[in-house]
Structure 1
């Protein structure tokens, strides 16, 4: 308290200077806030790159062929910010906004090509720090539709709420017409989204299928391995600035080490004690809960955004981010490589032998413990890689992403046939297509129920799954 007395005593002498400084700061602050509101298009940088402290908004105007339309003015307003940008034919334009929040993008109809209209003419986007919030507008010919005649769903969703939707850095999907049937373009776009979701789900599910085939355990902690991969990717790419391909290699190693550690500390001792599979499954549930609490503590319960600077890329009439196309290709190549390894290599034949008959495989000189260890390491490594690709493709993730994906992974491997890599691939693609296409005709909150309904119907007809084989009894 004694240190404060001189300051209090001299306060009357400093009062005029303090008042003048505050007045100057007030004028400067008013000038700073007035510039964005009245900023002209030429004064705004349209190449915003998101980082840990930058928030970007990008309007995208496409024609009916999904090609960019240049020369269209789009106003961006919200959170005390207002600006007007003009689209180009070279790629999306993006501007930096002062803070995260909701921004309204409005197309100026006077700048559209003759006899065309924007559908919708206005869109709201949710901007997040470290990401680019994109709002897409489609330019159609003819008069503008009556806004009261057609009700549309707009906006974006994040993988934290929906693993099958584009995140804050992804593309904004086309509007879904509620009052009528979806168009062919909408269905085809959702097919592409379903293939993407299915391939990434298959990469995460194939390890779950192999674990069940060799150990008989349904691992409920497998979903957290996906989150570990996504979180590792966030640290390596966003925090350490490593290239994505180097991060992917490191994520494979990190994921494999977690599987090796789990097998050495938990599963191998329990196997040697002859612990039944049902009790081992309960252990995986406990491990899942423990990992969830750890991951939530590390993330502080907030959404993490993996910066990948997405670029819209159209292939066969389907527009996804370039990162999504690359992730789909990587997932497909890895899954096919695993399938070939299981069928064409010695270690693959050993894995299948242990899965078919553990005692007989041991009698022929195969070490079942070594095979199971390899399966655990491979499964956790593939799940971690899937988590990285999901984070890159959808832009963001949260600590409970594994819980949201786990039921779909179980449905995929059961639908395709337990214990087979090709079964996990087929089942996951079917789940992805059903989930995405169902969103066109039913509310998105219940579309995952359609995948489970398909699973029930298939199992009633073919209990072993699509590519599974019947078990011999006796």
Structure 2
């Protein structure tokens, strides 16, 4: 009797949603193929695709490492987006361009500190928009100029917070009582305006900003960039800090209460406007630092990098469960790992599609996300 009900329930689910069985079978096929590749077996050929083959553990380890690094960026940026949604009840499409704001302002400060005296200060502050030495000559790396990298993190957070507060004051606050759809549309307009201000100030060309000399080493057969290690440490520290803030402080309790029921929070005397401001400060700071760290890992910068990342951040938040910071973190890691490990089977031109496929499956079979029912924390 104990096993009858679960089997009956599972059979009913499969009858009502046969596509779930198909998705499970495809996932199992990929797992078997991965094991065959690691063992060096060639299972067979269908059309132009070869099942099995050869996959070294070092390459697999490299893909997993890259997936974790990319996933931490998605998760860290997704925390702010999830908090904005849970407390202000709208999807903020300008969040991606806040990442770009942090990337440019942070790296402008980092290059200015690292390259002081080596070139024109205005060119360094504008991220080499004019004539300036190259990244290796400046020494823009965690090895050669660690203080400059730390200054860049601080400036990225501060500048992005100021921009986020300004957008809220000018655009969102007057519209706060009009519902989520008008705010969403307004956020698209704010995103476009901010993106083209960044393009006007810093230029539209893509350029390298980080030094590459001495920042790569090998750990357990996997090539590791020390900038990626810096990203890992900073991202984990910030995630732990947000957790402690939400769980152990009065502000965190007020934010969780407002996410659960804004009207009740207002009646009980919680200063909702201060909570909203705190939400923008925390979300803006995390977004700016995420953009800065993404460029630290990637090595290049361009004016539309935040817009490119925004869909992945949304995918992470949706997969984890909108309103849950833990869901955003886990969702970001899942999306990052799928994005990188899909390169085992498909080319780099299509690996973004694999990440979005995971989001679509989540919307079909678990629309509430992995951490359903959890608000803010």
Partner of 1:468: 372
Partner of 1:250: 155
Taking the TM superposition and a 5 Å limit, the aligned residue runs for 1:2-41 are: none
Pairing 1:417–2:329 present: no
Partner of 2:72: 199
Contact in 1 for aligned 2:102/2:292 (Cα 8 Å)? yes
Structure 2 unmatched runs, 5+:
1-49, 115-146
Partner of 1:359: 263
Seen in structure 2, the aligned counterparts of structure 1 residues 397 and 179 have a Cα distance that, compared at 3 Å, is farther
Contact in 2 for aligned 1:237/1:307 (Cα 8 Å)? no
Among candidates 187, 191, 209, match of residue 306 of structure 1: 209
- The TM-score normalised by the length of structure 1 is 0.59
Select the structure with the greater relative contact order (CA < 8 A; seq sep ≥ 6).
2
State the Cα deviation string for residues 337-372 of structure 1 (Å, max 9, x = none).
102211221111111111110000011110212111
Pairing 1:237–2:237 present: no
Partner of 2:59: 186
Among candidates 451, 459, 464, match of residue 363 of structure 2: 459
State the Cα deviation string for residues 373-431 of structure 1 (Å, max 9, x = none).
11012111111011111111111121111111010000001101111111111000000
Partner of 2:173: 268
Once residues 201 and 216 of structure 1 are traced to their aligned partners in structure 2, the CA distance between those partners, rounded to angstroms, is 20
Report the 3-state secondary structure (helix = DSSP H, G, I; strand = E; otherwise coil) of the residue aligned with 1:301.
coil
Seen in structure 2, the aligned counterparts of structure 1 residues 443 and 410 have a Cα distance that, compared at 3 Å, is same
Contact in 2 for aligned 1:237/1:247 (Cα 8 Å)? yes
State the Cα deviation string for residues 420-472 of structure 1 (Å, max 9, x = none).
1111110000000000000121011111111111112223222210012189x
Report the 3-state secondary structure (helix = DSSP H, G, I; strand = E; otherwise coil) of the residue aligned with 1:187.
helix
Taking the TM superposition and a 5 Å limit, the aligned residue runs for 1:371-450 are: 371-450=275-354
Partner of 2:181: 278
Structure 1 unmatched runs, 5+:
1-176
Once residues 178 and 456 of structure 1 are traced to their aligned partners in structure 2, the CA distance between those partners, rounded to angstroms, is 25
State the Cα deviation string for residues 224-272 of structure 1 (Å, max 9, x = none).
011111111221122443711122112221111112212222222222x
Once residues 347 and 155 of structure 2 are traced to their aligned partners in structure 1, the CA distance between those partners, rounded to angstroms, is 39
Pairing 1:295–2:168 present: no
* RMSD after superposition: 2.0
**Offset at residue 316 of structure 1 (A):** 4.2
Contact in 2 for aligned 1:308/1:323 (Cα 8 Å)? no
Contact in 2 for aligned 1:308/1:392 (Cα 8 Å)? no
Taking the TM superposition and a 5 Å limit, the aligned residue runs for 1:79-118 are: none
Mean alpha-carbon deviation: is it higher for 279-288 or for 295-304? 295-304
Once residues 229 and 207 of structure 1 are traced to their aligned partners in structure 2, the CA distance between those partners, rounded to angstroms, is 14
State the Cα deviation string for residues 99-121 of structure 1 (Å, max 9, x = none).
xxxxxxxxxxxxxxxxxxxxxxx
Report the 3-state secondary structure (helix = DSSP H, G, I; strand = E; otherwise coil) of the residue aligned with 2:344.
coil
Among candidates 240, 264, 267, match of residue 336 of structure 1: 240
Report the 3-state secondary structure (helix = DSSP H, G, I; strand = E; otherwise coil) of the residue aligned with 1:444.
coil
Once superposed, which parts of structure 1, at least 4 consecutive aligned residues long, lie more than 6 Å away? Answer: none
Partner of 1:212: 85
Seen in structure 2, the aligned counterparts of structure 1 residues 294 and 470 have a Cα distance that, compared at 3 Å, is closer
Once residues 358 and 280 of structure 1 are traced to their aligned partners in structure 2, the CA distance between those partners, rounded to angstroms, is 17
Partner of 1:320: 224
Contact in 1 for aligned 2:110/2:151 (Cα 8 Å)? no
Report the 3-state secondary structure (helix = DSSP H, G, I; strand = E; otherwise coil) of the residue aligned with 1:243.
helix
Contact in 1 for aligned 2:324/2:374 (Cα 8 Å)? no
Once residues 258 and 377 of structure 1 are traced to their aligned partners in structure 2, the CA distance between those partners, rounded to angstroms, is 10
Structure holding more helix per residue: 2
**Offset at residue 194 of structure 1 (A):** 0.3
Max radius of gyration: which structure? Answer: 1
Contact in 2 for aligned 1:202/1:428 (Cα 8 Å)? yes
Partner of 2:7: none
Contact in 2 for aligned 1:233/1:306 (Cα 8 Å)? no
Report the 3-state secondary structure (helix = DSSP H, G, I; strand = E; otherwise coil) of the residue aligned with 1:439.
helix
